[in-house]
Amino acid sequence: MPQGLSHITLITADLDRMQAILEAVLDARCVYDSGADQFSLSEERFFMIGDVWVATMLGESLPERSYNHIAFQITEEEFDVRQARIEALGLDLRPPRPRVTGEGRSLYFHTPDNHLIELHTGTLEQRLARYAKGAP
């Protein structure tokens, strides 16, 4: 049985641009940069976002956008600050999906490589408790 999430890898056409996004929006900390060395398929950088290891690798952008996404948990208090950071970078901030009260709020934005990232204020426990109450 898996013990948990190992890492997330995002392919990007521009490692510097992706690093700037991860650091500015998610307070990512770069812990490795392969530079000219190539141990994997291409140049790569590793980041820690909270306790999550995120790898970025040089490659072709995703051909199109979808709702497939990665969600990072944030607090309600930092919601507006994170939104301002996304807007300051000129990233494509999507309107939030319809939600029922009590499951948290979300910010969704696309990176230039068509990755969808969500910043969410709720937890799984909160969502399950709200859903257990039934439809509004």
Helix (H, G, I), strand (E, B) or coil at 52: strand
Residues with catalytic function: 44
> Given the structure tokens 């426990």, which residue do they identify?
125
Q: Which of 18, 116, 109, 114 is nearest to 70 (CA)?
A: 116
**Which of left, alpha, beta for 42 (phi over 0: left; psi -120 to 50: alpha)?**
beta
What are residue 79's phi and psi, to 5 degrees? -55, -55
